Structure 1
Amino acid sequence: MAVAEHRSFRRAAELLGLTRSSLSHVMRGLEEKMGVRLLHRTTRSVSLTDAGERLIGRLDTVLSELDHLLDEVSGEQGRPMGTLRINGSEGAIRQLLQTVVPEFLRRYPGVELDLVSDGRLVDIVEQGCDAGVRLGEAVPKDMVAVPLTPELRFLTVAAPSYLAAHPAPKLPDALARHQCIRQRLPSGKRYRWEFRKRRQELAIDVPGALTLDNSQLMVEAAIAGLGIAYVPEPYVRAALADGRLLAVLVDWCPPIPGLCLYFPNNRRVPTSLRLFIDLIRERSAAGQVT
Structure 2
Amino acid sequence: MIRASLIELEAVVAIASLKSFRAAARQLEMSPSALSHAISALEQRLGVRLFHRTTRSVSLSAAGEHFVRRVQPALREVSSTLDEMHELRDTPSGTLRINTSKGAAQVAVLPMILEMRRRHPDVRVELVTEERFVDIVAEGFDAGVRLAEAIPQDMVAIPCGADISMAVVGAPSYFASRPKPTKPKDLLDHECIRRRMASSMVYRWELEKRGREVAVDVRGALTLDNDDLVLQAALAGAGLAFLSDLAVAADVEAGRLVRVLADWTPPFPGLCLFHPSHRLVRAALRAFITIVRESTARERRPSKAGNSKKA
Alpha-carbon contact 1:184-1:190 (below 8 Å) kept: yes
Q: Distance in 2 between matches of 1:166 and 1:265?
A: 51
Note if 1:254 corresponds to 2:270. Answer: no
Note if 1:198 corresponds to 2:210. Answer: yes
Note if 1:264 corresponds to 2:294. Answer: no
Q: Distance in 2 between matches of 1:194 and 1:288?
A: 25
Counterpart position of 1:71:
87
Structure 1 pair 240/64, CA: closer, same or farther in 2 (3 Å)? Answer: same
Q: Distance in 2 between matches of 1:226 and 1:35?
A: 70
Alpha-carbon contact 2:192-2:239 (below 8 Å) kept: yes
What pairs with 1:77-88 in structure 2 (closer than 5 Å)? 78=91, 80-88=92-100
Using the TM superposition, give the Cα deviation of residue 188 of structure 1 relative to its aligned residue in structure 2, in angstroms: 1.6
Q: Distance in 2 between matches of 1:243 and 1:226?
A: 16
Note if 1:89 corresponds to 2:101. Answer: yes
Using the TM superposition, give the Cα deviation of residue 174 of structure 1 relative to its aligned residue in structure 2, in angstroms: 2.0
Using the TM superposition, give the Cα deviation of residue 286 of structure 1 relative to its aligned residue in structure 2, in angstroms: 3.8
Of the candidates 152, 157, 177, which is equivalent to residue 140 of structure 1? 152
Q: Distance in 2 between matches of 1:266 and 1:139?
A: 15
Alpha-carbon contact 1:131-1:262 (below 8 Å) kept: yes
- Runs of 5+ in structure 1 lacking a partner? 1-25, 39-50
Counterpart position of 1:214:
226
Q: Distance in 1 between matches of 2:254 and 2:107?
A: 22
Structure 1 runs (4+) deviating above 6 angstroms are 30-34
Of the candidates 114, 117, 134, which is equivalent to residue 105 of structure 1? 117
TM-score relative to the length of structure 1:
0.75
How big is each residue's C-alpha offset from its partner over 1:26-46, in whole Å with a ceiling of 9 and x where there is no partner?
A: 9x948988737x9xxxxxxxx
Say which is worse superposed, 115-124 or 163-172, in terms of deviation: 163-172
Amino acid at match of 1:35: E
Amino acid at match of 2:65: G
User: What SS does the corresponding residue of 2:176 show, helix, strand or coil?
Assistant: helix
Of the candidates 22, 31, 35, which is equivalent to residue 65 of structure 2? 35
Of the candidates 219, 243, 255, which is equivalent to residue 243 of structure 1? 255
Radius of gyration: which is bigger? 2
Counterpart position of 1:165:
177
Alpha-carbon contact 1:132-1:263 (below 8 Å) kept: yes
- Runs of 5+ in structure 2 lacking a partner? 1-13, 20-58, 302-308
How big is each residue's C-alpha offset from its partner over 1:185-234, in whole Å with a ceiling of 9 and x where there is no partner?
A: 12222122111111211222211111112222212211111100000011
Using the TM superposition, give the Cα deviation of residue 63 of structure 1 relative to its aligned residue in structure 2, in angstroms: 4.5
Structure 1 pair 60/162, CA: closer, same or farther in 2 (3 Å)? Answer: farther
TM-score relative to the length of structure 2:
0.71
Q: Distance in 2 between matches of 1:245 and 1:118?
A: 26
Amino acid at match of 1:92: A
Q: Distance in 2 between matches of 1:197 and 1:55?
A: 61
How big is each residue's C-alpha offset from its partner over 1:40-89, in whole Å with a ceiling of 9 and x where there is no partner?
A: xxxxxxxxxxx69x976x5785355313321355x3xx4x3211110000
Alpha-carbon contact 2:146-2:271 (below 8 Å) kept: yes
**Taking every aligned residue pair, what percent have the same amino acid on both sides?**
44
User: What SS does the corresponding residue of 1:194 show, helix, strand or coil?
Assistant: strand
Q: Distance in 1 between matches of 2:204 and 2:132?
A: 16
Counterpart position of 1:62:
78
RMSD: 2.9
